[in-house]
Chain A
Amino acid sequence: MAKHRGRGIASINYPIGMNLGGDPSQALVHSNPSGKFTVSLSSIDLGQGMKSVTRQICAETLGVPVEDVYVDTADSDTGPHCMGSFASRGTHRVGNAVMAAAKEARGVMMEAAAEELEVNAADLDTDGRGNIHVKGAPHRSISTKDVAIAAQFKQGKTISGRGIFLVPLSEVNPETGEMSPATCYAHACLVAEVEVDDETGEVAMVRMDSAYELGRALNPRLVEQQLVGGAWMGISHALFETPEPYYPDPAHGPRDFVEYLMPGPGDICPHDIAVLERPAADGPFGAKGPGEMCANPVLPAVANAIFNAVGVRMDELPITPEKVLRAIKAQGGARPQARR
């Protein structure tokens, strides 16, 4: 009886967004008289950073400080339509919609500024700090706040913009089954090292090393946060959790946090991540998005690492100690493979 180390590798391609009847999201951007901007979305921020990233995209496109942009995701009854925060689509689809809305709002803002400065709007630029100035003549400037006040109370203009981003429905070729469900793909490779106890069947994570190519990382800390947290969920799907019962009767299935197994803080391992950036041609500032793919490569990498450690091919999830023990027994003992 012994503990065996093994290493496994997995690579994935991950499509950004989904395509079941087309994949659209809308955004609305408007300024209030204080020169601050509101982005209205129905896209939900459930902790992944949707608000932060759309705020950055809007501020960058408008040419105003990020502090001057507020993102409101309050209510899908009253907000512009969004398909939802899933399928790793948020940054790409919603980001593009916000960019389009902010571009339109910027156009109105520059027209309003041009009227105040008595110049042509094409000759104006933003400084990213809340001012609009004549190109080559920074002293000929007006603050975005003064432009917003003038638009509201003098010119009678709404500084606002509408945006939608739609990936149209991709028809399936009835002959070949081919379709183009996504416009860009992210990529990842992950190496997992595990330790398998051939007496208990327990699999312990030793370390993970991964590389993710997900377009431009608009907010690198949030990307890293998702990759770290998503890998935990990958471990969880690989080794612990399932809504299905471990035994035939559904009544034996997990019903609550006490019975639904998940890895705790003692079950995690060091994870070294490299983020590679190959900007997507149709992404907002080149972004694709991390999202679901954070978890995906962990499962096959862990299964391959278990094979490398004890020579059993696990093809059912989660890979519980019982399944590992039964498989080792069926093959007549652990058969460590060549160390990779």
Chain B
Amino acid sequence: MTKTALQFRHNGRDVALFVDGGVNLLVALRESIGDMTPKFGCGQGGCGACSVLIDGELHLSCLTLAETVNGRSVETLDGLKDGPNLHPLQRAFMEQFAAQCGYCTPGMLMAAKALLDRNPSPTRAEVIEAISGNICRCTGYEPIVNAVLAAASSGRARA
């Protein structure tokens, strides 16, 4: 099969790789780059576990052809922390006990980041709307919603 050359920014670093035609971004990230933070849940856009940011916007990497991110910027959970310092959202998830098995957590964090980047002071309803494409089977969502709201208010306290 013909391989396509692909270059994009992955969490702030330039990466170059060859991908098979039709390969989705989730597979390219996990198998070619080795970034295992986006998770495979359903492969059909039903669960949100594979969520990443492309040029700052929330996308499902399982439904995104890898070739379409050529020249663009892709952010995953792996790029969220700043060196040893956790992102405020990660700290809030920890403090609010917003993860149990943790499989949905990377997608939840990216969905929450996409929200806070465009709306630093969301209402509870806006947080619920923002994570509605992400399935969690353990937490009952309440601790996740609380964590996003807590991260938002800690961001306001700093600013």
Contact = CB atoms under 8 A, between A and B. Distances in A.
B32 interface: no
B100 interface: yes
Nearest to A234: B140
Contacts of A230: 140
Contact of B145 (A229, A233, A265): A265
B154 to A, nearest CB: 19
A232 B139 contact: yes
18 contacts: A46-B100, A49-B100, A221-B97, A222-B97, A225-B100, A228-B142, A229-B143, A256-B46, A257-B41, A257-B46, A257-B47, A257-B135, A262-B137, A264-B141, A265-B127, A265-B131, A265-B132, A265-B141
Interface residues of B, number: 26
A47 interface: yes
Instruction: Determine chain B's interface SS by DSSP, over half rule.
Output: loop
A231 B142 CA distance: 11
Nearest to A260: B46
B46 A232 contact: no
Interface in B109-130: 127-129
A266 interface: yes
A228 B47 contact: no
Interface of B: 41-42, 44-47, 97, 99-102, 127-129, 131-132, 135, 137-145
Interface residues of A, number: 23
Contacts of A46: 100-101
Nearest to B132: A264
4 smallest A-B Cβ distances: which pairs?
A232-B140, A47-B100, A47-B101, A257-B46
A48 interface: yes
A232 B141 contact: yes
Interface string A69-82: 00000000000000
B44 A258 contact: yes
B103 to A, nearest CB: 9
A228 B140 contact: yes
Contacts of A262: 135, 137
